[in-house]
Amino acid sequence: MRSLRNKTEVQHRRSIDVGLVLLACVVLPPLTGWAMPDLLSSAHALTLTYGVSLGIAALSLNLLLGYAGQLSLGHAALLGAGAFAASVIVDRFGLPMYVGWAVGGLAGGVVALAIGIPALRLRGLYLALVTLVFGATMQASVLRWRFFTHGSSGASLPRRWWFGDHILINEPIYLSMCLVVLVGVWLVDVNIIRTRLGRAFLAIREDETTAQSFGIDVVRYKLLAFVLSGVMAGIAGALYGGGIGLVTSDEFGRELSLRIVLIVVIGGIGRRWGPVVISVLLAIAPTLPPPFRRYDLVIAAGITLYNVVKLPEGLAGLIAHRRAKPTGPPVDVEQLRELDLAAVAGAAAPLGGGTVLIVHEVSVEFGGLHAVEDVSLRVEPGQIVGIIGPNGAGKSTLFNAISGFVPSTGAVTLDGVPISWAKPHERAAAGLGRTFQNVGLARDQSVRQNILLAQHHFASYSDLAALAYSPSARDVEARLAGLADEVITGLGFEEYADTPVRQLSGGQQRLVELAAVLATGPKLLMLDEPTAGLSPAAAENLAERLRQLRDDRGQTILLIEHNVPLVLDLCDYVYVLSAGQLLAAGTTEELSAMPEILGAYLGGEVFA
Amino acid sequence: MAQALVVGLVIGGIYSLFALGIVLIYTGSGVLNFAQAELGTFTLFVAQILVVEHHLPYAVGAAASIALALAIGVTFERLAVWPLLNAPRVTVAVATLALLALAVALEITLFGPVGRNLPPPITGHSVNVIGVFVSPNQIASLVLVALVAGGLAAFFRYTDFGLSVVAAAQDQEALRFLGIPLARASMFTWGLAAVLSALAALLIQPDIGVISPGAYSGIFIRALSAALIGGLGSMRGAFLGGVIVGVGEAAIRHATVGSSLTGLPELCIFAAVVLTLVFRPQGVFGSR
């Protein structure tokens, strides 16, 4: 009850803060311009307006590059699309400029969608390549077409504040308006980062495979990031065009695109204040005396290069790095003995009752080489099934085939549903939770963030609700935050809740990964070497916890292990894989009666 | 039309040199070098100053610009690419953008925003080859491009070092196995790409004329498109892609001359890029 009241108080205070900021944005520029025209002349206000619209453009690229890790080199073309669309609306149709801003944002979003669809299906730097070519092409062609942009003379973009001939000429007031829009974009950006959207973006930036294993549709979210970025860029373009009153194609060329990238890198990738402040500084620089004016670009480029190599997060990253805590201690036996995995586990989806997993004649081929050949296996409800085999036997490849990360032939059925054609994120959403040999977590994110990230599928509000942080989204997020607290408490990780995963020990990372996956209530829990990096005593304890999980909750588990005695002790049924093929299978008793198999294929390395 | 196609072939060959540099770095470091063409522009300024202002022979200016490019390429690799070996590729891409911005900014500050002119190395009248006029410079350019491309092909196919650089792209472990340090292969690719950039800039200058900061950004866009269309992982693809883009652009420009819609050739190149991405992301000549 107490915490609930605190929460509403915090929210109340936050909305007062936002209100004060908005009031300051609206009142300060006109007041200063009127009372101290020397300090804020029309020319100064116009420079600041340019800085503010550049700041919105920087937030736009930061969303794409800083959050989702995708690079756009044609951002100026998106600004241009917004500016010319606004010009059509305001100048030709005579509508107020606010409509122009909205349509400008829409235009930026539509253009981003059109470029993003071909470019973002692929992994890698294709978006950077396509946006660069797109920006240059637009500047050479469409933006020069007379009927669209009035050619090189430019299209007029009056500041029509109401229908008819009501044109705003007071520069400080226009600056106020731009500041209000900046605050609005800023708030949306805050909402993005505290909801499912931001978590998905950040996960994609770190590792697309991890993101998929948490059920995130990587292509959809990359596209969403680019479209949102395009909308912001379009609005920035419309505001900028309105500042000058004239839109020409030359304004929206390669130089502007490059400048926006530099601003984000200097200000701090993934930050808000830095890029906005640098935007305003860079807008003011050309109006300063010669030494600044002459070398501003050289300095900016130099700082950028230094930042990229020395401080990958940009200047703002400097502070965060200083705060870094030392590495967490290894997981000790005591901790594992007290661990109650059942308390960590989320509500399990009811099973259909049949076999949980059927793998039928699955093969994986890498360039003519059979990594996995015609492997069939079954996992019954409430069983712990193990896969053992020497290094390079294809165990992890089989896991990847089952969870959809490598293309395979054959059939995979999860709880009666065929999933052979499903993408990895769809398999995850269907109840297939897995861990990775090298820990599939977003390592720069905190423990709490990772557990929330795993809950992606349960953050079931719409994208629009997320952008507005609507009451429904707020409720879901509050519930998920409570759940994350429970998981962290259950794990005994309260002291590491907000520590980046990177700073934990290997064993701790594995536990967090296990907890994050378990908290989604998977129908089948797939563990890739869960005891790697643990001491023998700790490994035994973890095995005991897994057994308890099966007995208490009926959790079905499929695991890969190197530790054969542990597997024989823990598992209800064991498959032996060698050179991509199934060598033997049976219950522990049956396999123990086949020492030649265990000896010949596993003995040396495993029992050592 | 034939005249346009020959010009397209000459220009396309030079696009190929830029595209080869892009592909070389993409296979070696897995990153697009966005400064590939600007590096050549920067060193071209140096050649211009040596030749025009200091009255040195063209060959000296050209050699100096190539040597400077080599130095910049290798230095950049040591300072920015190598330390980021394990960083996400997008970080390295941003580093090349910073290099691009630095080059443009330095050009404006050191050499001024006004264009400069460098007289072509070979003067003389164009020769009439079966109805098509070809300038001596264009012939020299064609021959040089063919020599460089042939030499590179032989180098990567027949020498141990060349083979190992290609192997490094596939598998860095394999390279260690061959006993060639990864660092040397990485330095080599960036150095070679920089040399190609300087050479291509020297060759294309007589066709463009004025040298100004960022003047070759349009060329870079075409070379990048050519590399993607041909296949970012294929040197043969990059070469053929350059020729295709050069000839195609000349043909379309010839066919659409006088249209009120400017930039149709550029639009066609962009369309080709998008179509390649959708239907054959590994490039027309690339293999998966």
ipTM of this complex prediction, to 2 decimal places: 0.93
Element (H or E) spanning A581, and its range? strand A581-586
Instruction: Determine the residue among B270, B276, B279, B280 to mutate to test chain A binding: the one whose Cβ has the most chain A Cβ atoms within 10 Å.
Output: B270
The C-alpha atoms of residue A60 and residue A83 are separated, in whole angstroms, by 15
Nearest CA in chain B to A131: B270
The rounded mean pLDDT for chain B is 89
CATH fold of the domain at B2-279 = ABC transporter involved in vitamin B12 uptake, BtuC (1.10.3470)
Residue A82 pLDDT > 60, yes or no?
yes
Residue A608 pLDDT > 90, yes or no?
no
| C-beta atoms surrounding A26 within 10 Å | 16
Distance from CA of A502 to the nearest CA of B (A): 15
Residue A179 pLDDT > 70, yes or no?
yes
Distance from CA of A185 to the nearest CA of B (A): 25
Residue A527 pLDDT > 90, yes or no?
yes
A112 touches chain B (CB under 8 A): no
Digit-coded pLDDT (tens) for A194-235: 999 999 999 999 889 999 999 999 999 999 999 999 999 999
Contacting B residues, span 29-48, partner chain A, CB-CB under 8 Å: 31-32, 34
Digit-coded pLDDT (tens) for B35-66: 999 999 999 999 999 999 999 999 999 999 99
Please tell me the least confidently modeled range out of A469-473, A492-496, A530-534: A530-534
pLDDT tier for residue B177 given thresholds of 50, 70 and 90: low
In SS3 terms, A385-453 reads as EEEECCCCCCHHHHHHHHHCCCCCEEEEEECCEECCCCCHHHHHHCCEEECCCCCCCCCCCEHHHHHHH
Residue B19 pLDDT > 70, yes or no?
yes
| Amino acid A506: pLDDT | 85
| Amino acid A292: pLDDT | 64
Residue A364 pLDDT > 60, yes or no?
yes
Residue A27 pLDDT > 60, yes or no?
yes
Which residue type, as a one-letter code, is found at position A39? L
| Amino acid B176: pLDDT | 58
| Amino acid B188: pLDDT | 92
| Amino acid B162: pLDDT | 83
Digit-coded pLDDT (tens) for A92-138: 999 999 999 999 999 999 999 999 999 998 888 999 999 999 999 98
The C-alpha atoms of residue A264 and residue A270 are separated, in whole angstroms, by 8
Task: Give the nearest partner residue to A69 out of B90, B102, B105, using CB atoms.
Answer: B90
| Amino acid B168: pLDDT | 67
Contacts of B218 in chain A (CB under 8 A): 136, 140
Residue A322 pLDDT > 50, yes or no?
no
| Amino acid A591: pLDDT | 83
Percent of chain A scoring above 70 in pLDDT: 93
Q: Is A332 left (phi over 0), alpha (psi -120 to 50) or beta?
A: beta
A118 touches chain B (CB under 8 A): yes
For A290-318, what is the mean pLDDT? 73
Contacting B residues, span 216-275, partner chain A, CB-CB under 8 Å: 217-218, 221, 224-225, 228, 260-264, 266-267, 269-270, 273-274
A70 touches chain B (CB under 8 A): yes
The C-alpha atoms of residue B110 and residue B170 are separated, in whole angstroms, by 41
Residue owning tokens 């290609």: B166
Instruction: Determine the residue among B81, B90, B253 to mutate to test chain A binding: the one whose Cβ has the most chain A Cβ atoms within 10 Å.
Output: B90
Please tell me the least confidently modeled range out of A288-297, A376-385, A509-518, B15-24: A288-297
Residue B282 pLDDT > 80, yes or no?
yes
| Amino acid A412: pLDDT | 96
Residue A325 pLDDT > 60, yes or no?
no
Digit-coded pLDDT (tens) for A423-438: 999 999 999 999 998 8
| Amino acid A605: pLDDT | 46
For B24-30, what is the mean pLDDT? 89
Give the residue, A139 or B241, on which the prediction is more confident. B241
For A365-394, what is the mean pLDDT? 90
pTM: 0.93
Please tell me the least confidently modeled range out of A72-86, A107-121, A486-500: A486-500
B195 touches chain A (CB under 8 A): no
For B114-131, what is the mean pLDDT? 81
Q: How many CA atoms lie within 13 A of B82 on its CB side?
A: 17
H helices present in A36-162, as ranges = 42-61, 75-87, 97-120, 126-140, 146-149
Residue A324 pLDDT > 60, yes or no?
no
Residue A604 pLDDT > 80, yes or no?
no
Task: Give the nearest partner residue to A71 out of B94, B100, B277, using CB atoms.
Answer: B94
The C-alpha atoms of residue A283 and residue A52 are separated, in whole angstroms, by 9
Residue A313 pLDDT > 70, yes or no?
no
Structure tokens at A607: 């029992």
Structure tokens at A148: 């669209």
Measured CA angle at B239 (ends B234, B243), to 5 deg = 140
Q: How many CA atoms lie within 13 A of B144 on its CB side?
A: 18
Digit-coded pLDDT (tens) for A544-593: 999 999 998 899 999 998 888 888 889 999 999 988 999 889 998 888 78
Residues 6+ apart with CB under 8 A from A604: none
Torsion angle defined by CA atoms of residues A595, A599, A600 and A605, in that order, rounded to the nearest 10 degrees: 160
